[in-house]
Amino acid sequence: MQRIAVVVGTRPEAIKLAPVIQKLEGQSGLQPLVCNTGQHDQLCGETLAWFGLNADVKLDVMRPNQGLAALQSRLLTGLDTFLAASSPDGLLVQGDTMSAFCGALAAFYRRLPVFHVEAGLRSYHLGEPFPEEALRQMLARIAALHFAPTTAAQQALLAEHIPPDNIHVTGNTVIDALNCLTDTALAEARQRLEARVDLTLPLVLVTVHRRENHGPRLEQILRAVDTLSRLYPACRFILPVHPNPNVKQAVHAALSGRDTIILTEPLSYPELVCVMQNAVLALSDSGGIQEEAPSFGLPVLVLRYETERREGLELGLARLVGADYEMIVREACSILQSPSKISTHFFNPYGDGKAAERIVTLIEYYTRYGATEQ
């Protein structure tokens, strides 16, 4: 039995790693050991629970308004202690969070193989997204296996001289997570949402949280949302407010008290998917929204100046608008004047729902033979 440590700290990580953890639990030769770092404290645990999963270990790393250096220090120390106590045979991380990077670094220091889900995403702009672009580039230098979601991610890794045999195009596990949703779960989510918003009206989903958007950029984004809500009073703008105080305070100060803007606590995963199913537009700086939206034919205005998920841009599924007030309003108006779903909504360029199965098969082969089958 090979023990695979799985580090998860944020809600997106919980969503994207849950299908992999489920597959690991069903693989007779592998045993997952899940460590919730607590980077998104309650959100991460609640999301894992929705998938029927619980962390074996939970760290306590978050402090009010702590800086990145303090967070990294606590994560690295806590994760090293976790690895020392659990003695795994390898470590699995996802994406580009501080939890993922520190987990990989702690494993590297202990000479454990690192398996990186969603490897190879690149903007090649160290400030966009910040600090994630730097974290994932550094993580790539120490990973043993790179699970690239797309061929573009694979090509980025090859250009950085990652050995070809260590790179595998698997698709993105976020599509696997969507396939985990049952009709019952979605029906219950819809019922909860209907108590807060009329789902028969045109919905606009707004999510904003990225660190590089804090401050003046966020003010421009929120001003654009306010303007759009006044221009389109028949629409309902639903904004799940991120718990980060730098976001939460700004959002409530700018948008509270508007009849057409619904500010909510973070939505459960089924609730968020239900909103995407019913929305006509998403304004978001989230990578996950960019990946999930094509499954619902939902156009996305990306509130970032760079995106490492260019497949959506190339297919016309998303547009980059940054935090530019005028561009956000102009592009949103072009969609809201005659809102409709994108006709290609049955095609998602980010995955086919079988990524977790491929990933676990590759890990199992690696732990047996020290290499992967091509």
Concerning whether 192 is annotated as a catalytic residue, the answer is no
Evaluated on CA atoms 299, 303, 306, 307, the torsion sign reads: negative
Annotated catalytic residue within 209, 210, 304, 310? 209
Q: What are phi and psi of 316, to 5 degrees?
A: 75, 20
- The beta strand positions in 254-335, using DSSP E, are 261-264, 279-284, 300-302, 318-320
| Residue 242 annotated to the active site | yes
What tokens appear for 220 in the block?
A: 């421009």
Q: Exposed/middle/buried for 346, CB within 10 Å: 0-12, 13-18, 19+?
A: exposed
Name which of 140, 145, 102, 92 is nearest 120 in CA terms. 140
Using a 10 angstrom Cβ sphere, with 0-12 exposed, 13-18 middle and 19 or more buried, the burial of residue 256 is exposed
Instruction: Say how far apart CA 170 and CA 350 lie, in whole Å.
Output: 10
Report CA dihedral (48, 133, 143, 290) to the nearest 10 degrees: 50
> Locate tokens 């966009």: which residue?
128
CA–CA dist 344, 123 (Å, integer): 26
The span from the CA of 263 to the CA of 55, in Å, is 30
Residue 13 annotated in active site? no
Contact 145, 164 (CB under 8 A): no
**Contact 36/57 with Cβ under 8 angstroms?**
yes
Catalytic residue among 118, 133, 291, 311: 118
* Coil vs helix vs strand at 338: coil
The three-class DSSP label of residue 355 is: helix
Q: 304 an active-site residue?
A: no
Per annotation, catalytic residue among 146, 217, 242, 358 = 242
Q: Give the whole-angstrom CA distance, residue 193 versus residue 302.
A: 24
Helices and strands (H, E) in the chain, number of each type: 15, 13
**258 catalytic residue (yes or no):** no
Residue 211 annotated in active site: yes
Q: What is the DSSP letter of 277?
A: H
Catalytic residues: 96, 118, 132, 209, 211, 242
